[in-house]
C-alpha cells in the first residue's frame, strides 16, 4: 500500500509533513510512504528525524506551488511542483493514494487537472469529518469548499458519494443523509435547497431530511450535504467558535488549564480525524488542514490507506444514476 | 419610552416573557412595558410574580400564531394574534418599539405586513450580535435569516444599515464592515459574493474586505454581511458548536462543572446580547431567541428602548444610495 505525500504543502512543511510521514511508515510496515518534494530539503528533515525506514522513499519535485489565489494559473506556471507530482503518482498508479496539506484550492485543481472523474460524477466534493454525537462520533460534511457554485445534481451526487464513503469507512450500513438548510421544514431554505431536497428524496440513500447547522454536532445525521460555499462557512465557523471557546477557557479555568484544554482538543481537533477525501475523482486524494502537524499528517496517511483497503474507489458511485439533469 | 412585547411568543411563554417584562419595568421607571397577549393568561402570570408596577400594562390579543412553517398564511388566518397586535402598536405609534421571541418567520412576516419599509430599503435583514474579540465584544451579523434569496443590492444595503446601527449602538465611529466568503481573496467565493464585493467597495462604509467564518469571533470585523441563508447557518453552527463544547466540558471538567460553565455561558450566551433588530422597516422590531428566558427578554426590551433613544430609525439608512440596480 503506497501513499504519496506532498512534503512541501502546509504551514509547517516540510518539517511536520516529513515527521508525520516517518511516524506513519514506522508504525505500519505494510505501508510505503513516498515523500514528494525538493530532495535536499526533504532529506535534511529525514536526517534530523533519525533517518528513513526502508518503507519510506523520496520522490523529487523541483517546485513548490504558491499559496496565492489562482491555483490553476499557479499550477500551469509550475508543472514540476510537488502537489502536481504527488497527484501524478496516483494517476500513473505508482501510488495507491495521496495526501496534501497545502492550499486546498491547489490540491483540488491538481486533482482535477490530473485525474479523470469517476464515471457519472459531475463535480468532485471535499468530505470533511467533523465531531458529532452519533455512533461513529463523526458527521461527514460534503462539500466543504471544492464547488462554491453548486447545482441540485451536484448536491444529489454528494449525498450518494458521502453515503457510500461513510458506510465503507465508518461501518454504518445505512448512513442518514441530511441536506443543510435553515430549518427542518421543506418550505424553508433557498431555491437550491428546495430542488435538491426533491432529488435526494428519490435517491438511493437514507435521506433523513433537512438539517440545521446545530444538527451536525448533535449527531442527528451521518452525512451532511451542502454546497461548497455553505459547507466551507460551516467549517470555518465551527473552527472560529472552537478557537473562541479555547481562548475564554484559558481565562476562566481555575489553576492550570492545560489538562482540560488537552482533553477537549482530543475530542474536537481536526488532527484526530485524518484529513478529508476529495470525493469523485478516479484516485484517492486526501486533503489535510493547512495547519497540520505530524500527528494530523500521520492520521491522514492512515485514513488514505484505509480508504484504499475499503475499496472506496470501486464503491463510491454505487447508486449514482444520471438523474437530476444538468 | 414604550416597548410592546409579544407575551405569547417563545418556548417559555407566557411565563418567562411576563417575568422579563416585569424585571425590565421594575428596573427602569422611564420605561413603559406593554405585554400583548391573552389577558387572562398574562394577568395570571403577573399575579404569580407579585403584581404589575404602574409602568407595565396589558394589551389584549385573542389568538396565538402557530409555530408552523407558513408564517404569512398563519398570520392571515389569525388577524387578532399577539405578534400582529404587537407590531401594530408600533405601526400606530402607540409603542416606540417592540420585542418578539416567538417564530422568527412570523415576526418578520408580521413586520413586513404591518410596517412600511424605510425609504430606499429593498429588503429588511435580521442583525444578530454574536460574541467577538473586538472592542465592543460584538460582531453584528446581517442578515441572519430574513432573506434567504439575496441579490447583491440587498447585501450592499445590509452593510450600510449594519454599519449605521453598529455606530449608534456600540459607539464605534467607523465600524469595519466585512462580507462573509470562503477566503479573504476577492477571487474566492460565489457569484453573489463577487458582485456584492464590488458594490461594498464603493459604498459609504468602511469596507474591510471579505472574511471567513472564523474572523467573526476573532473580532476582525464589526459588521459581517451575509445572505440570510448563509447567515442563519453561521448562527446555528455556532450554536451547535457551543452546545457540543458544553456537553464535552461537562464530561471532562474535574469536580463541579457549574462555575466554569456558568462563567463561559455569561460570555457566550445569546441572552446577554439583547435580541436582534430587524433592520430596514420603519419601526423598531427586536427578535429574541425562541428559547429566551426572563433575562433574555429583559435585555431585549432594554436594547429595543436604547435603539429608540439612539435614533436608529432616523439614522439607519444614512449613506444608502439607490446604486446597485435591482
For residue B323, pLDDT over 80 is answered with no
- Is the CB of B228 less than 8 angstroms away from the CB of A182? yes
State which residue of chain A sits closest to B216, comparing Cα positions: A240
Closest partner CB to A232 (pick from B182, B229, B241) = B182
Q: Which residues contact B242 (CB under 8 A, 6 or more apart)?
A: A241, A245, B268
Tell me what pLDDT residue A283 has: 95
Q: Tell me the chain B residues in contact with residue A139 when contact means C-beta distances shorter than 8 Å.
A: none
Min Cα separation A96/chain B (Å): 31
Output the pTM of the full model: 0.93
Question: What ipTM goes with this model?
Answer: 0.92
Q: Average pLDDT of A62-76? A: 86
Q: Tell me the chain A residues in contact with residue B235 when contact means C-beta distances shorter than 8 Å.
A: 213
Tell me what pLDDT residue B61 has: 98
Tell me what pLDDT residue B326 has: 46
CA distance A303 to A8: 20
Choose among B15, B311, B323: nearest CA to B165.
B311
- Is the CB of A187 less than 8 angstroms away from the CB of B69? yes
Q: Average pLDDT of A50-66? A: 96
Q: Which three cell numbers stand for residue A48?
A: 534530523
For residue A326, pLDDT over 50 is answered with no
Q: Tell me the chain A residues in contact with residue B213 when contact means C-beta distances shorter than 8 Å.
A: 232-240
Q: Residue B268 — pLDDT band, cuts 50, 70, 90?
A: confident
Give the tens place of pLDDT for each residue, A165-185. Answer: 999 999 999 999 999 999 888
- Is the CB of A131 less than 8 angstroms away from the CB of B244? yes
Tell me what pLDDT residue A233 has: 96
For residue A272, pLDDT over 80 is answered with no
Q: Average pLDDT of B257-264? A: 88
Min Cα separation A212/chain B (Å): 7
**Beta partners for A140?**
A129, A223
Q: Which residues contact B190 (CB under 8 A, 6 or more apart)?
A: A148, A149, A229
Tell me what pLDDT residue B176 has: 98
Cβ B101 vs Cβ B290: under 8 Å: yes
Q: Tell me the chain B residues in contact with residue A105 when contact means C-beta distances shorter than 8 Å.
A: 188
Closest partner CB to A148 (pick from B70, B148, B182) = B182
For residue B81, pLDDT over 60 is answered with yes
Tell me what pLDDT residue A50 has: 95
Tell me what pLDDT residue A322 has: 64
Give the tens place of pLDDT for each residue, B193-234. Answer: 999 999 999 999 999 999 999 999 999 999 999 999 999 999
Q: What percent of chain A stands above pLDDT 90? A: 83
Min Cα separation A241/chain B (Å): 6
Tell me what pLDDT residue A274 has: 77
Average pLDDT, chain B: 93
Radius of gyration of chain B (CA): 20
State which residue of chain B sits closest to A105, comparing Cα positions: B188
State which residue of chain B sits closest to A134, comparing Cα positions: B244
Give the tens place of pLDDT for each residue, B42-69. Answer: 999 999 999 999 999 999 999 999 776 6
- Is the CB of B260 less than 8 angstroms away from the CB of A253? yes
- Is the CB of A268 less than 8 angstroms away from the CB of B244? yes
Choose among B265, B263, B285: nearest CA to B276.
B285
Give the tens place of pLDDT for each residue, B98-136. Answer: 999 988 999 999 999 999 999 999 999 999 999 999 999
Q: Which three cell numbers stand for residue A53?
A: 525506514
Q: Tell me the chain B residues in contact with residue A232 when contact means C-beta distances shorter than 8 Å.
A: 182, 212-213
For residue A102, pLDDT over 70 is answered with yes
Tell me what pLDDT residue A257 has: 87
Top-confidence residue, A54 or A275: A54
Cβ count near B43 (within 10 Å): 17
Compute the 3-state secondary structure of chain B and give helix, strand, coil in percent, each to the nearest 5.
Answer: 45, 20, 35
CA distance B255 to A259: 13
Tell me what pLDDT residue A67 has: 74
For residue A324, pLDDT over 80 is answered with no
Cβ B182 vs Cβ B215: under 8 Å: no
Give the tens place of pLDDT for each residue, B284-305. Answer: 999 998 889 999 999 999 999 9
Q: Tell me the chain B residues in contact with residue A225 when contact means C-beta distances shorter than 8 Å.
A: none
For residue A281, pLDDT over 60 is answered with yes
Tell me what pLDDT residue A267 has: 82
Cβ A145 vs Cβ A231: under 8 Å: yes
Q: Residue A273 — pLDDT band, cuts 50, 70, 90?
A: confident
Amino acid at each position: 500500500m503506497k501513499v504519496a505525500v506532498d512534503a512541501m504543502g502546509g504551514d509547517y512543511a516540510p518539517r511536520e509533513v516529513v515527521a508525520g510521514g516517518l511516524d506513519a511508515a514506522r508504525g505500519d510496515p505494510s505501508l510505503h510512504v513516498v515523500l514528494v518534494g525538493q530532495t535536499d530539503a526533504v532529506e535534511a528533515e529525514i536526517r534530523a528525524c533519525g533517518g528513513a525506514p526502508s518503507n519510506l522513499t523520496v520522490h523529487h519535485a523541483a517546485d513548490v506551488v504558491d499559496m496565492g489565489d489562482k491555483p490553476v494559473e499557479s499550477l500551469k506556471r509550475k508543472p514540476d511542483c510537488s502537489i502536481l507530482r504527488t497527484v501524478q503518482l496516483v494517476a500513473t498508479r505508482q501510488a495507491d493514494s495521496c495526501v496534501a496539506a497545502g492550499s486546498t484550492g491547489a490540491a483540488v485543481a491538481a486533482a482535477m487537472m490530473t485525474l479523470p472523474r469517476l464515471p457519472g460524477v459531475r463535480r468532485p466534493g471535499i468530505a470533511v469529518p467533523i465531531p458529532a454525537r452519533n455512533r461513529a462520533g463523526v458527521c461527514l460534511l460534503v462539500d466543504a469548499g471544492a464547488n462554491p457554485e453548486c447545482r441540485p445534481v451536484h448536491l444529489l451526487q454528494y449525498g450518494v458519494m458521502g453515503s457510500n464513503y461513510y458506510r465503507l469507512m465508518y461501518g454504518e450500513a445505512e448512513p442518514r443523509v441530511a441536506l443543510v438548510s435553515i430549518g427542518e421544514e421543506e418550505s424553508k431554505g433557498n431555491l437550491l435547497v428546495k430542488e435538491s431536497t426533491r432529488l435526494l428524496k428519490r435517491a438511493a440513500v437514507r435521506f433523513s431530511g433537512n438539517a440545521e447547522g446545530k444538527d451536525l454536532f448533535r449527531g442527528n445525521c451521518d452525512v451532511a450535504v451542502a454546497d461548497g460555499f455553505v459547507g466551507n462557512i460551516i467549517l470555518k465557523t465551527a473552527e472560529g467558535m472552537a478557537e473562541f471557546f479555547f481562548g475564554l477557557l484559558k481565562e476562566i479555568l481555575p489553576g492550570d488549564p492545560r489538562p482540560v484544554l488537552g482533553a477537549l482538543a482530543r475530542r474536537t481537533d481536526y488532527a484526530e480525524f485524518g484529513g478529508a477525501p476529495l470525493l469523485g475523482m478516479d484516485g484517492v486524494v486526501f486533503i489535510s488542514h493547512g495547519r497540520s502537524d505530524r500527528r494530523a499528517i500521520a492520521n491522514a496517511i492512515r485514513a488514505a490507506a484505509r480508504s484504499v483497503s475499503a475499496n472506496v474507489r470501486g464503491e463510491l458511485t454505487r447508486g449514482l444514476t444520471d438523474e437530476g439533469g444538468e
